[in-house]
Amino acid sequence: PISGLAKRFTHESQLPVLSLDGPVHGLRQVGDGARGAFFPEFHRQDSLTDMVDDWTCAITEIQLLAEVGVGKLAYMGLSMGSIYGIPLLASRTDVTVATLGLFGVQASFPHAEEFIAAAAKIACPLLFLMQLEDELFERDGYLKIFDLFASLDKRLHANPGLHPEIPGEEIDLAFDFLNGHINGTSVRRIVNPLAQ
């Protein structure tokens, strides 16, 4: 879904997109590039710092391009994209909207305290996606990290299914959510009272 979403931003919205591989995936693939390769990397002490530094460097380099420049940033990262995206977003002040999810924090996880501290620094509008039968992250862990986000406009969307079974309509919603905040057309309407 990431390449499809990137094409929508470049074609429909005429916005530049930077799509980055996480460790052991894509062009950085190690072994099969799946969970077996990722878990040793995730446990490594400097895993978060190294990837945040890597992605920060990539963002800086692309902003030097005349056709890109410096402007509003939006971020979308699910699963590994949240694992590294949460500390990335916490380190920046120029991200105006984000979609995160497929991640929860648990005391037994590596870097749990880092995630807790980072989540509390994220204050941009946020859409957070959750899978109710996720085999990797517990429901309580999802809710814990969601509650920690400092965003005044944060939304939790939960769907049945395992970790990789996120519905396609949630990706469409993520596009609309991000795009609306980037171009200034997103208005949050609260219907109150809903019923008398």
The pLDDT assigned to 190 comes to: 65
The pLDDT assigned to 191 comes to: 63
The pLDDT assigned to 138 comes to: 95
The pLDDT assigned to 195 comes to: 62
The pLDDT assigned to 2 comes to: 75
Q: At what angle do helices 47-63 and 80-90 cross, to 10 degrees?
A: 70
Nearest to 142, CA basis, from 91, 133, 164? 133
Contacts of 37 (CB under 8 A, 6+ apart): 24, 29, 30, 31
Provide the token pair at 104.
């929860």
Q: What is the CA radius of gyration of the chain?
A: 17
The pLDDT assigned to 82 comes to: 96
The pLDDT assigned to 3 comes to: 80
The pLDDT assigned to 107 comes to: 82
Cα separation values, 44 from 32, 41, 72, 109, 154, Å: 19, 5, 32, 12, 30
Mean pLDDT, contiguous 10-residue spans, the chain (196 residues): 84 89 79 78 91 95 93 92 97 96 91 96 98 96 98 97 95 93 77 63
The pLDDT assigned to 186 comes to: 74
The pLDDT assigned to 43 comes to: 87
